[in-house]
């Protein structure tokens, strides 16, 4: 009997130490997740049809994974493209040129260009898409919507800082 109690105590010690280790692992995991930067971007919708993003400037840290949640509460379709710094007009001109491309809709109105770092699909009214990416170098990265006729108004800056 005495032996059994001793075993029991050892068993409980084992259980406790396992629980403590598990909770450390859980805390570690939660901290890891907090390292992601969740950024909200939205099409302006009040009043509808403004062809603008609700945010003119969003900030992020260089080298930290970004989760960009793009929501479209507007009545128009929109997409979102992240561009290399200083290439807004260049990519915008390519977007304008897509008006004569019969495949444009199929391509979600995303032109082909090495200056486009990331892009979403064409998002319907009420829809959303999350883009996941990391930007290593600090800079001002243009964000534009390339739905025909939108980019001149519908643009913002993703400011990446060290």
Residues that bind Cu ion (CB under 5 A): 78, 145, 147, 150, 154
> Residue 85 or residue 125: which is nearer to Cu ion going by CB?
125
Is the CB of 60 or the CB of 92 nearer to Cu ion? 92
Q: Rounded CA gap, 139 and 159, in Å?
A: 6
Query: Residue of minimal CB distance from Cu ion?
Result: 145
Nearer to Cu ion, 32 or 46 (CB): 46
CB of 119 to Cu ion, least distance (A): 13
Residue 86 beta carbon to Cu ion: minimum distance, rounded to whole angstroms: 21
Positive or negative, the CA dihedral 40, 45, 49, 52 is negative
Q: What DSSP string describes 29-98? A: HHHHHHTSEEEEEEB--SSS----BS-SEEEEETTS-EEEEEE--SSS-B--EEE-TT-HHHHHHHHHHG
Shortest reach from residue 125's CB to Cu ion, in Å: 11
User: Among residues 140, 144, 131, which one has the least CA distance to residue 78?
Assistant: 144
Cβ nearer to Cu ion, comparing 79 with 87: 79
Smallest distance, Cu ion to C-beta of residue 160, A? 23
DSSP 8-state code for residue 124 = P
- Give the residues across from 40 on adjacent strands: 69
């Amino acid at each position: 009997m005495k032996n059994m109690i001793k075993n029991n105590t050892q068993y409980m010690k084992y259980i406790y130490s396992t629980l403590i280790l598990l909770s450390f692992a859980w805390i570690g995991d939660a901290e890891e997740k907090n390292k992601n930067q969740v950024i909200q971007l939205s099409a302006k919708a009040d009043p509808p049809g403004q062809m603008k993003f609700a945010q003119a400037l969003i900030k992020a840290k260089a080298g930290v994974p970004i989760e960009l949640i793009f929501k479209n509460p507007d009545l128009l379709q929109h997409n979102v493209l992240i561009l290399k710094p200083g290439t807004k007009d260049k990519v915008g001109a390519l977007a304008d040129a897509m008006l004569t491309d019969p495949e444009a809709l199929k391509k979600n109105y995303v032109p082909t260009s090495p200056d486009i770092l990331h892009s979403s699909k064409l998002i319907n009214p009420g829809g959303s898409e999350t883009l996941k990416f990391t930007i290593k170098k600090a800079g001002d990265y243009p964000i534009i919507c390339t739905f025909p006729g939108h980019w001149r108004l519908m643009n913002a800056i993703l400011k990446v800082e060290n």
